[in-house]
């Protein structure tokens, strides 16, 4: 059966394997294979593979020494992975239970299996989960060489946004000041600090702020990360005119925070503004909102209009990168 593989010349194989392993994207259930002068590296999540790699469908052999969930179930289950927590999105509880049993019995490094029990909701943007197997929902997730400790029951974290976060973080320079207004457990702030940036992350959720501090320490960048707990509109006066780069990942309502963003911006600041918008005009609402908030104080230049992913029928999750120049 064909599985998604990164295809590279064999001489680039080891560097590619290492990069994909660091991003936690290797598919442990299939063998890396040489065929037709190419090396095929099976990957677990083709959407998260950085754009620089070519992803193709290839009939990679199943690893003989591994029992995979499909071997036990007779069908290929669908799941996402966050460290040792395997995430299902199954409406049928009997089927969910069968998949959970197979995941626990197979050779994958499964600690816990959870099923989505609600949408992402509330100010903290977290879900309810049914824990189907295992008992802990705290885990260590690895993304592009950075470790994140987090509890899926207490904080927001989407492994699907890894490529998008990497795109933003790669723009952060060593001497920059980066401010994440909705920082969560630090998936923008911690890797930006690893690149040498001076970073501040704010979050309303006390659990997220505690994990952000822990993750900064765990990755050796506690000295370059300041964590602030509270509403970013009320707790960040000390950082007026400070930020060279602002990250605003609170789709649906980030525009309500643009006045604060303008207060935090330095004379020359790039804003990464996430939104959920209709496919007919995915970037218009963000662009108009940024221009309105900037007013006479800043010139606004749109740098990138990024279509991140589908969110719902006819709705896109998008990111507008805009430069504010005073
Ligand atoms: C969609 S999550 C993004 C978290 C993180 N940036 C990421 O990409 O994983 C939004 C975060 O904003 C936080 N939040 C919501 N309202 C806030 C506010 N008024 N001030 C600061 N943080 C807020 C939530 O607690 C949540 O952790």
Q: 171 and 297 share a domain? A: yes
Q: Whose CA is nearest to atom 21 of ligand 1?
A: 203
Q: 282 and 319 share a domain? A: yes
pLDDT of 247: 98
Confidence of residue 34 (pLDDT cuts 50, 70, 90): very high
Q: 183 and 38 share a domain? A: no
pLDDT of 23: 81
Q: Whose CA is nearest to atom 19 of ligand 1?
A: 231
Q: 51 and 96 share a domain? A: no
pLDDT of 45: 82
Q: Whose CA is nearest to atom 6 of ligand 1?
A: 183
CATH code for the domain of 247: 3.40.50.150
pLDDT of 46: 83
Interatomic CA distance for residues 43 and 165, integer angstroms = 19
Best of 120, 143, 168, 182 for a ligand 1 pocket test (most atoms within 8 Å of beta carbon): 182
Q: Is residue 276 included in any domain, yes or no?
A: yes
How far away, in angstroms, is 201 Cα from ligand 1 center? 10
Residue 70 sits at the vertex; the CA angle it makes with 65 and 75, to the nearest 5 degrees, is 155
Tally of residues, the chain: 326
Q: Is residue 106 included in any domain, yes or no?
A: yes
pLDDT of 120: 93
**Range of the structural domain that residue 117 is part of:** 69-136
How far away, in angstroms, is 183 Cα from ligand 1 center? 6
The stretch 203-221 carries a mean pLDDT of 98
Best of 189, 204, 208 for a ligand 1 pocket test (most atoms within 8 Å of beta carbon): 204
pLDDT of 22: 79
Q: Is residue 113 included in any domain, yes or no?
A: yes
The stretch 39-54 carries a mean pLDDT of 88
Q: Is residue 63 included in any domain, yes or no?
A: no
Q: Find the residues whose C-beta lies inside 6 A of ligand 1.
A: 123-125, 156-157, 180, 182-184, 187-188, 202-205, 208, 231-232, 249-250
- Give Cβ neighbours of residue 155 (< 8 Å, ≥ 6 apart): 124, 126, 184, 185, 205, 207, 208, 211
Q: 190 and 269 share a domain? A: yes
How far away, in angstroms, is 218 Cα from ligand 1 center? 21
pLDDT of 78: 93
Q: For residue 202, is pLDDT > 80? A: yes
CATH code for the domain of 105: 3.30.300.110
Q: For residue 47, is pLDDT > 80? A: no
Interatomic CA distance for residues 230 and 227, integer angstroms = 10
Q: Kindly calculate the radius of gyration of the chain based on its CA atoms and give it in whole angstroms.
A: 21
Q: 261 and 289 share a domain? A: yes
Residue of 276, 287, 261 whose CA lies nearest to 313: 276
Q: 203 and 275 share a domain? A: yes
Last residue of a domain, one of 33, 58, 83: 58
Q: Whose CA is nearest to atom 17 of ligand 1?
A: 204
Measured from the Cα of 203, ligand 1's closest atom is 22
Q: Whose CA is nearest to atom 22 of ligand 1?
A: 203
Question: Residue 50, class by beta-carbon neighbours within 10 Å (0-12 exposed, 13-18 middle, 19+ buried)?
Answer: middle
Q: For residue 284, is pLDDT > 80? A: yes
- Total number of domains in the chain: 3
Q: Is residue 149 included in any domain, yes or no?
A: no
pLDDT of 65: 80
Token code pair at residue 162: 């890894």
pLDDT digits (tens, 9 = 90+) for 166-192: 999 999 999 999 999 999 999 999 999
The stretch 228-246 carries a mean pLDDT of 98
Q: 74 and 53 share a domain? A: no
Q: Is residue 148 included in any domain, yes or no?
A: no
pLDDT digits (tens, 9 = 90+) for 73-130: 999 999 999 999 999 999 999 999 999 999 999 988 899 999 999 999 999 999 999 9
How far away, in angstroms, is 115 Cα from ligand 1 center? 22
Q: Is residue 152 included in any domain, yes or no?
A: no
Q: Is residue 141 included in any domain, yes or no?
A: no
Measured from the Cα of 158, ligand 1's closest atom is 9
How far away, in angstroms, is 141 Cα from ligand 1 center? 19
CATH code for the domain of 14: 3.30.70.2580
How far away, in angstroms, is 234 Cα from ligand 1 center? 14
Q: 315 and 196 share a domain? A: yes
Q: Whose CA is nearest to atom 11 of ligand 1?
A: 182
Last residue of a domain, one of 39, 58, 77: 58
Confidence of residue 230 (pLDDT cuts 50, 70, 90): very high
pLDDT of 24: 80
Q: 266 and 307 share a domain? A: yes
Q: 187 and 265 share a domain? A: yes
Q: For residue 264, is pLDDT > 90? A: yes
Q: 54 and 74 share a domain? A: no
Counting residues of the chain whose pLDDT is more than 90, the rounded percentage is 84
Q: For residue 1, is pLDDT > 80? A: no
């Amino acid at each position: 059966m064909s599985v998604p593989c990164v295809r590279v010349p064999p001489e680039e194989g080891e560097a590619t394997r290492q990069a994909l392993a660091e991003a936690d994207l290797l598919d442990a259930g299939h063998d890396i294979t040489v065929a037709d002068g190419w090396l095929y590296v099976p990957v677990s999540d083709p959407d998260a593979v950085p754009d620089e790699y070519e992803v193709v469908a290839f009939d990679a052999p199943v690893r003989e020494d591994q029992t995979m969930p499909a071997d036990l179930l007779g069908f290929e289950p669908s799941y996402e992975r966050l460290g040792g927590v395997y995430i299902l999105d199954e409406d049928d509880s009997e089927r969910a239970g069968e998949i959970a049993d197979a995941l626990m019995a197979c050779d994958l490094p499964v600690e816990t299996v959870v099923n989505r029990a609600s949408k992402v909701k509330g100010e903290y943007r977290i879900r309810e989960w049914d824990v189907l197997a295992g008992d802990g929902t705290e885990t260590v997730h690895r993304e592009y060489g950075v470790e994140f400790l987090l509890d899926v029951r207490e904080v927001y974290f989407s492994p699907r946004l890894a490529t998008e976060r990497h795109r933003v973080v790669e723009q952060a320079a060593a001497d920059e000041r980066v401010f994440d207004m909705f920082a969560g457990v630090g998936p923008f702030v911690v890797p930006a600090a690893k690149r040498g940036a001076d970073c501040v992350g704010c979050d309303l959720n006390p659990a997220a702020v505690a994990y952000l501090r822990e993750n900064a320490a765990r990755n050796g960048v506690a000295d370059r990360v300041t964590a602030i707990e509270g509403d970013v509109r009320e707790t960040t006066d000390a950082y007026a005119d400070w930020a060279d780069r602002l990250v605003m990942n609170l789709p649906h309502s980030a525009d309500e925070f643009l006045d604060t963003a303008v207060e935090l911006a330095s004379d020359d600041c790039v804003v990464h503004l996430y939104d959920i918008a209709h496919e007919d005009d995915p970037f218009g609402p963000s662009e108009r909102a940024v221009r309105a908030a900037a007013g006479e104080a800043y010139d606004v230049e749109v740098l990138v209009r990024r279509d991140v992913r589908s969110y719902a029928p006819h709705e896109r999750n998008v990111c507008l990168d805009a430069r504010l120049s005073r």
